[in-house]
A and B are shown apart, each in its own frame.
Chain A
Amino acid sequence: MSTEIESDGPAIEVPADAPSLLGKGTEGGVGEALSAYWSRVRGGDMGPLPAVGGLVVLVAIFAVANPLFLTQRNIANLFTQAAPLVTLAMALVFVLLLGEIDLSAGVTFGTAMGVFVKITQPGGMAWPLALLISLAIGAAIGTFIGFFVARIGVPSFVVSLGLFLGLQGVMLVIIGAGGTYILNPAPILAIENNNLPPLLGWLMLVVALAALLVVALIDRRRRIASGAPNPPLSIMIAKLGVIALLGAAVVFYLNQDRGSALHPLQGVPIVVPIILLIIMVGTYVLDRTRYGRYLYAIGGNAEAARRSGVNVALVKWTAFITCSVLAVVAGVFYVSQVGSADASTGTQIVLSGVAAAVVGGVSLFGGRGRLMHAVLGGTVIAVITNGMGLLSFSAGANLAVTGGVLVLAATVDALARKRSGATGV
C-alpha cells in the first residue's frame, strides 16, 4: 500500500492498481492491522491506552510499597470495592456518549436503595418485588430527566443538578435525618460478600469466552457471505487468547483459598459474573443495534443524525432511562457492600463515576467511549483508593489524588479531541 493521503495537499493520488475496496474474501496481514491501529492512536483515538498504562504503573507502585496489595484477599476486595463504581461508570457512558451528563445518578441509586432497604425490613416485602420497584424508581427518575433534556431542551447539567439536590431531600423524607436501615435480604447481601464455588467460576469464564467466540464467528461468516473482507484470523485468535489468559489468571487466583484455617474463603465474588453480563449485553447493544449506533451518531453530530431520520429526542430520552436504571443496579452493589442505607447513600459517588468513565477514555464531548473503558477507569480509581488506604494515606489525600487524576484524564480527552480535529489522517 503506497497510498498517500494528504489532508490539504492538492490531489489525492491512489495508484491505478490500488486494491479494490470490495475485497474478495482476502484478508489483510497482521502488520496492516497493527499499522492501522497505530495511525488511529496517533490521530488522537487513544481509547483506553492511558488508563491501561496508568493501571500498570499504579499496580507496580502499590505492589512495591505494600506487600499486602497483591495478596489474594486484597485482590478479591478490589473486585468487590470496584463493583459499584464500575457499574455506575457504565451507566454514565450511555449519557456521556450523547455529550450529556447525569449528576443525579448517585442520588438516584440512593433514593431507590433507600426505598429498597426500607420496604424489605423484616415483615416487609419479598426482595425480588422490592428490587423491581427500585428499578422502576430508577426508570421513573430517568424518564423525568429525559423529558426535560430531550423534550424541553434544558441542559442535562442543570436538570440533573436540580435532581441531585431534590432527591437528597426525598431521601431525607424516606429515611429520616441520621437514620440508617440495615440491609436485610440475604441474597442481596451475598452479591458483594459471597463467592461462587470454584467450579462455577471456571464455568462462568467458559460461557463468557464461548459467547465471544460465537459472536466473532457469526460475524466472519456474514462478512464472507456478503463478500466483505475479514480482518486477519490471527488477530481475532490473539484477542480472544489474551482475554482467555487474563480471565483464567483471575479465576485461578480468586479460586485459591484466601481465608484462615478456620474460615476457608475462595472463589470469584458473585458480583463479577453479574458485571460481566452487563458489559457483554451492553457492548452488544452499543455496537450492533440501531439504538447503540444512534447514541454515537447523536454524540458525534446530532443534526446529521436528525437529517438521517434518527429520532434524536427519543434516543436521548431513553439514554437517560438506561443510565438511571443501571445506576440503581450500581446502588444494589453499593448497599450489598456497605450492608445498609442512610440519607447520604450515593451522594459522594457520582463524581467518581464520571471520573472513572473519563479516566477510562470515554469522552466528555460525546460520541466516543465504550463500556470496557468505564470498567478500566473504575478499576484505576478503585486501585488508587485501595492502594492509598493500604498505605495509610488519609481520605483527604485519596480524594485529592482522585480529583487530580480526573483533571488529568479530562485534559488528555480534550487534547485528543483537538488532535483528531487537526490531523488529516
Chain B
Amino acid sequence: MTHPIVELKGVTKSFGPVSVLKGVDLTAEVGRVTALVGDNGAGKSTLIKGLAGVQPYDGGEVLFDGEPVSLHHPREAARLGIEVVYQDLALCDNLDIVQNMFLGREELIGGTFNEGQMEAEAARALQTLSVKTVKSLRQKVASLSGGQRQTVAIARSVVKKARVVILDEPTAALGVAQTAQVLDLVRRLADSGVAVIIISHNLQDVFAVADDISVLYLGTMTARVQAKDTTRDDIVGYITGTKTMTEVQA
C-alpha cells in the first residue's frame, strides 16, 4: 500500500535575487514517515510553506495522487488533505480539546454546534492514535503538558481526515519521555495510512521514526535514502555538504 501521494518535481523558489529552492524533488508515500533534514537556511521551511500553500513555489511540478495540482492558497492544500502541524502549536489555550480539534470545521446541526458529534469524533481520533494520556476531552488546552498539546495538534489532523501530515519540529520542546510518546504517535499516524513528513534537527528522533530520509543542502536535495540503509555519519555528511549523493532511490 505504499505509493507516492505527493511528488514534488524540480520545484524552485526565489526571494528577489536569492534562490532558496533550486529544483527540489521530494516524495511522500502513504504509510511511511519521510524525514526532511538539513541545516538552518537549507530551505526546509520554504519547501514546507509551498506544500501548505502559504508561499507558492515559483516553478516546478506538484503531483498529488499522480495528478498535477496547483498549491497557491492554504485552502487548496487543505482541500487535498495536506495538514501542517506547526512548531509553535497552533492551539488556543482558552478552548478545550474538542473545540481545538474542530476549530474552523465545526460540526453543525441547523446552524448551531453538534457538540456530541464533535466529542465522539475527537474521542475516536485519539483512539485511532492509541492516545491514553488525556483524561478529559473537555479539559482546557492551557492545562495540558507539552506532549499532550502536541498530541492534540496531531490528532487534529486525523479529525480533518488529512492524507499528508507535515510535522515541523514536533519534539523540539519536549523532554525525553514525551518525545518518545510523540514519536510513537507519529508512527501510528503513518500506520493508519497517512503520508507523514517530519522536519527535525534531532537525528536520533529521525532514525527512531523515519522510513525515508531526504536531505536538503543549500536549496538542493542532496540525498534521499531509506533510514535502514544509512548511518548517522552519512546523514551528517549530507547535511553539512561534505558528502554528496545524486542517486535517488525510493
Q: Give the B-binding residues of A (Cβ under 8 A).
A: 1, 3, 5-8, 10-12, 14, 18, 20-23, 36, 40, 43, 45, 219, 222-229, 284, 287-290, 293, 296-297, 299-301, 303-305, 307-310, 367-368, 420-421, 423-425
A317 to chain B, nearest CB (A): 18
State which of A6, A219, A308 has its C-beta within 8 Å of the C-beta of B103: A308
Tell yes or no: B104 within 8 A of A by CB.
yes
CB nearest to B119 among chain A residues: A228
User: Closest 9 A-B residue pairs measured CB to CB?
Assistant: A308-B104, A223-B116, A300-B92, A300-B94, A367-B94, A304-B90, A309-B104, A21-B123, A226-B116
B112 neighbours in A (Cβ, 8 Å):
284, 288-289
**CB-CB under 8 A for A310 and B116, given A301-B92, A304-B90:** no
B75 neighbours in A (Cβ, 8 Å):
309
**1/0 contact string of B69-103 vs chain A (CB within 8 Å):** 00000110010000000100111111100010001
Known: A11-B177, A301-B93. 12 other contacts (CB 8 A): A14-B132, A14-B135, A21-B134, A22-B123, A36-B138, A40-B140, A222-B109, A222-B117, A293-B95, A297-B103, A304-B103, A308-B104
**CB-CB under 8 A for A308 and B93, given A10-B175, A10-B176, A288-B112:** no
CB nearest to A308 among chain B residues: B104
State which of B90, B108, B120 has its C-beta within 8 Å of the C-beta of A301: B90
Bound CA span A250–B4, Å: 68
**1/0 contact string of B134-160 vs chain A (CB within 8 Å):** 111110101101011000000000000
16 contacts between A and B (CB under 8 A): A5-B148, A8-B175, A12-B148, A14-B133, A14-B135, A226-B119, A228-B117, A296-B92, A297-B92, A297-B103, A303-B90, A304-B89, A304-B91, A304-B92, A420-B142, A420-B143
CB nearest to A43 among chain B residues: B143
Tell yes or no: B105 within 8 A of A by CB.
yes
Tell yes or no: B106 within 8 A of A by CB.
yes
CB nearest to A22 among chain B residues: B123
Tell yes or no: B111 within 8 A of A by CB.
yes
Which of B104, B115, B127 has the most CB atoms of chain A within a 10 A radius of its CB?
Answer: B104
A362 to chain B, nearest CB (A): 12
Bound CA span A36–B86, Å: 30
A330 to chain B, nearest CB (A): 26
Are B123 and A367 interface neighbours, CB within 8 A? Answer: no
Are B116 and A222 interface neighbours, CB within 8 A? Answer: yes
Bound CA span A12–B115, Å: 27
CB nearest to B153 among chain A residues: A304
CB nearest to B146 among chain A residues: A8
B149 to chain A, nearest CB (A): 11
B214 to chain A, nearest CB (A): 25
A289 neighbours in B (Cβ, 8 Å):
111-113
A36 neighbours in B (Cβ, 8 Å):
136, 138
Are A224 and B90 interface neighbours, CB within 8 A? Answer: no
State which of A228, A229, A310 has its C-beta within 8 Å of the C-beta of B104: A310
Bound CA span A299–B93, Å: 10
B106 neighbours in A (Cβ, 8 Å):
290, 293
Tell yes or no: B114 within 8 A of A by CB.
yes
Tell yes or no: B209 within 8 A of A by CB.
no
CB nearest to A299 among chain B residues: B94
**1/0 contact string of B157-176 vs chain A (CB within 8 Å):** 00000000000000000011
State which of B90, B91, B115, B132 has its C-beta within 8 Å of the C-beta of A228: B115
Tell yes or no: B126 within 8 A of A by CB.
yes
B8 to chain A, nearest CB (A): 22
Tell yes or no: B124 within 8 A of A by CB.
yes
Bound CA span A296–B75, Å: 23
State which of B113, B122, B126, B143 has its C-beta within 8 Å of the C-beta of A424: B143
A22 to chain B, nearest CB (A): 4
Bound CA span A308–B52, Å: 12
A424 neighbours in B (Cβ, 8 Å):
143, 145
**CB-CB under 8 A for A21 and B115, given A8-B145, A10-B175, A300-B92:** no
Are A7 and B123 interface neighbours, CB within 8 A? Answer: no
**CB-CB under 8 A for A300 and B95, given A45-B140, A228-B115:** yes
B104 to chain A, nearest CB (A): 3
Bound CA span A8–B123, Å: 24
CB nearest to B135 among chain A residues: A3
B146 to chain A, nearest CB (A): 8
Are B113 and A288 interface neighbours, CB within 8 A? Answer: yes
State which of B86, B113, B127 has its C-beta within 8 Å of the C-beta of A293: B113
A40 neighbours in B (Cβ, 8 Å):
140
Are B143 and A305 interface neighbours, CB within 8 A? Answer: no
State which of A1, A14, A367, A421 has its C-beta within 8 Å of the C-beta of B92: A367
Report B50-65 residues with CB < 8 Å from chain A CB: none
B74 neighbours in A (Cβ, 8 Å):
307, 309
A288 to chain B, nearest CB (A): 4
**CB-CB under 8 A for A423 and B143, given A297-B95, A308-B104:** yes
Are A226 and B120 interface neighbours, CB within 8 A? Answer: yes
Bound CA span A229–B138, Å: 11
Which of B94, B114, B145 has the most CB atoms of chain A within a 10 A radius of its CB?
Answer: B94
Bound CA span A8–B95, Å: 21
A227 neighbours in B (Cβ, 8 Å):
116, 120
B222 to chain A, nearest CB (A): 31
State which of B90, B119, B145 has its C-beta within 8 Å of the C-beta of A223: B119
CB nearest to A423 among chain B residues: B143
State which of B103, B134, B138, B142 has its C-beta within 8 Å of the C-beta of A305: B103
B92 neighbours in A (Cβ, 8 Å):
296-297, 300-301, 304-305, 367
A228 neighbours in B (Cβ, 8 Å):
115-117, 119-120, 123
**CB-CB under 8 A for A21 and B113, given A10-B176, A300-B95, A301-B90:** no
Are B175 and A226 interface neighbours, CB within 8 A? Answer: no
Bound CA span A301–B132, Å: 26
